[in-house]
């Protein structure tokens, strides 16, 4: 059965790999209408890699019985989409990284498929299987990143962007924009379901942020200038790299011992301000860059508010100047109440807690919106928008609409993680949502969640954030 399945897959895959791509095209081929087959290919692959596979990944993390059927359907639709992508007529495209990466994607696709079938056989339980489980989990968690990258390559190939002298600008906008979106996704996960993971590793979110900022700053410091005379943009980008590694180093120091720090948020604010002041050739480009910068600045401001003023259980706000914690933010035994920053108590689900639940979505959403705005601000994209008579207001509102859709998908996957498979709430709590599930008293909590206990008791803390630490089976 296994050999037969693999032979069918290879029979479909090999013709696609051998498909001829074009290095020279006529004007007629480049401007031909896009036929229905190509539209179906784009819609199908966007659905599979943007929704189906990420959903299947989440179901794998929760050991849901629907993981295998969903991923199997995803594999079948992926190969169907590949065949469609090489069968279309009408408009033709130059050979591009989209086609090359499609070939590379056969490696994780076949690896995941072979591992999934092997794990279902339940053999070599004490020898090979544990390593296969780990590898299956690593490859599965990489799917959202691989899918995002390939969809981005597809959009670039469709428009014919990023060729010649535009490559450097494309890399800067698409990599950094995607980085801001990833930052928003990780922040949302940590703020909503990652409390116990943060407690377990003993590092605040800002400690990790600061390391990434510092390392990225070091890279930027030495890669923005390529010899010759220094332009204004070279100087701006290089000093921004210095800002990041200098501020990142300070953030690492201040965030030790699980302390919160505002330094990463301050770096975000300064980066947004610098980007908003970039001079651009077109007015629409100036406006879009300014809105991107302002959105990034607002993300930094709301992050500072979330750290300094919104009650949180991620770390202990009662730490002294040396970073030594004296009390827990959530105390064992206070079943219906939680401590606020003043040392008093408030009822769960009311007051600061209720405000905090609503406010915590500001920073991650604004980071997602800022990332999309920056990815949409390349010269080629904005020249196309300008030539078609669209103003900056319409264009920016389109990007924010996409940000709402993307953030909805992100939250839906986080909610699915909390409500499926082994994390499914008990029937008595089935009406509870991700937004209030962390406020449940310990006695009525669903299986996947337990409040952080008093450390003095020596009790073992259950880990909420399986999404970070567990592997798929």
Give yes or no for a contact between 292 and 373, defined as CB atoms under 8 angstroms apart. yes
Residue 84 DSSP label? H
pLDDT digit string, tens, across residues 157-196:
888 899 888 888 898 899 999 999 999 999 999 888 888 8
Task: Write down the pLDDT at residue 464.
Answer: 38
pLDDT digit string, tens, across residues 71-113:
999 999 999 988 888 887 877 777 888 989 999 999 999 999 9
Task: Write down the pLDDT at residue 30.
Answer: 64
Instruction: Specify which residues 90 forms β-bridges with.
Output: 34
Instruction: Specify which residues 339 forms β-bridges with.
Output: 345
Nearest alpha carbon to residue 355 among 397, 390, 311, 395:
311
CA distance 97 to 99: 5
CB contact set of 457 (below 8 Å; sequence gap of 6+)? 332
Residue 423 DSSP label? G
CA distance 33 to 43: 17
The angle subtended at Cα 233 by Cα 183 and Cα 209, nearest 5°, is: 20
Question: Which residues of the chain register pLDDT less than 70?
Answer: 1-31, 312-355, 426-473
Q: Per the structure block, which two tokens stand in for 90?
A: 């009408």
pLDDT over 90 percentage in the chain:
49
CA distance 178 to 289: 16
Q: Whole-model pTM above 0.75?
A: yes
CA distance 162 to 152: 12
pLDDT digit string, tens, across residues 197-209:
888 888 889 999 9
CA within 13 Å, CB half, 318: 14
Give yes or no for a contact between 447 and 360, defined as CB atoms under 8 angstroms apart. no
Interior/surface letters 329-361, b for 16+ CB within 10 angstroms, e for the rest: bbbeebeebbbbeeeeebebeeebbbebbeebb
3-state class of 346 per DSSP?
Answer: strand
């Amino acid at each position: 059965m296994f050999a037969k399945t693999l032979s069918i897959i290879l029979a479909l895959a090999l013709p696609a790999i051998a498909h001829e791509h074009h290095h020279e095209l006529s004007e007629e081929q480049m401007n031909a209408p896009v036929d229905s087959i190509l539209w179906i290919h784009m819609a199908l692959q966007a659905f599979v890699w943007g929704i189906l596979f990420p959903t299947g990944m989440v179901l794998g993390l929760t050991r849901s019985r629907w993981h295998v059927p969903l991923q199997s359907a995803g594999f079948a639709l992926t190969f169907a989409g590949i065949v469609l992508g090489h069968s279309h007529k009408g408009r033709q495209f130059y050979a591009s990284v989209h086609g090359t990466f499609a070939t590379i994607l056969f490696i994780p696709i076949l690896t995941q498929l072979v591992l999934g079938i092997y794990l279902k056989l339940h053999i070599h339980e004490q020898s090979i299987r544990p390593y296969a489980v780990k590898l299956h989990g690593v490859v599965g968690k990489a799917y959202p990143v691989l899918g995002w990258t390939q969809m981005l390559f597809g959009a670039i190939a469709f428009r014919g962007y990023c060729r010649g002298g535009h490559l450097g600008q494309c890399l800067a906008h698409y990599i950094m924009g995607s980085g801001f979106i990833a930052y928003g996704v990780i922040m949302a996960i940590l703020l909503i379901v990652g409390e116990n993971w943060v407690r377990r590793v003993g590092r605040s979110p800002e400690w990790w942020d600061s390391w990434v900022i510092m390392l990225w700053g070091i890279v930027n410091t030495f890669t923005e200038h390529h010899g010759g005379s220094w332009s204004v943009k070279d100087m701006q980008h290089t000093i921004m790299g210095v800002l990041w590694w200098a501020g990142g180093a300070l953030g690492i120091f201040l965030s030790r011992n699980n302390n919160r720090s505002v330094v990463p948020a301050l770096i975000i604010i300064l980066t947004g301000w610098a980007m908003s002041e970039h001079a651009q050739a077109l007015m629409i480009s100036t406006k879009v860059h300014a809105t991107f910068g302002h959105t990034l600045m607002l993300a930094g401001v709301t992050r500072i508010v979330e750290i300094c003023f919104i009650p949180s259980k991620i770390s202990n706000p009662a730490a002294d100047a040396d970073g030594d914690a004296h009390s827990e933010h959530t105390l064992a035994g206070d079943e219906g109440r939680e401590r606020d920053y003043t040392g008093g108590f408030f009822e769960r689900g009311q007051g600061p807690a209720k405000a905090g639940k609503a406010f915590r979505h500001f920073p991650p959403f604004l980071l997602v919106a800022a990332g999309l705005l920056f990815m949409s601000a390349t010269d080629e994209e904005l020249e196309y928008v300008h030539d078609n008579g669209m103003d900056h207001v319409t264009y920016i509102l389109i990007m924010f609409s996409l940000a709402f859709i993307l953030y909805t998908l992100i939250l839906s996957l986080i909610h699915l993680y909390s409500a499926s498979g082994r994390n499914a709430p008990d029937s008595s709590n089935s009406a509870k949502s991700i937004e209030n599930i962390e406020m449940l008293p310990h006695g009525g909590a669903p299986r996947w969640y337990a409040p952080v206990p008093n450390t003095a008791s020596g009790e073992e803390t259950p880990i909420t954030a399986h999404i970070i630490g567990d592997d798929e089976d």
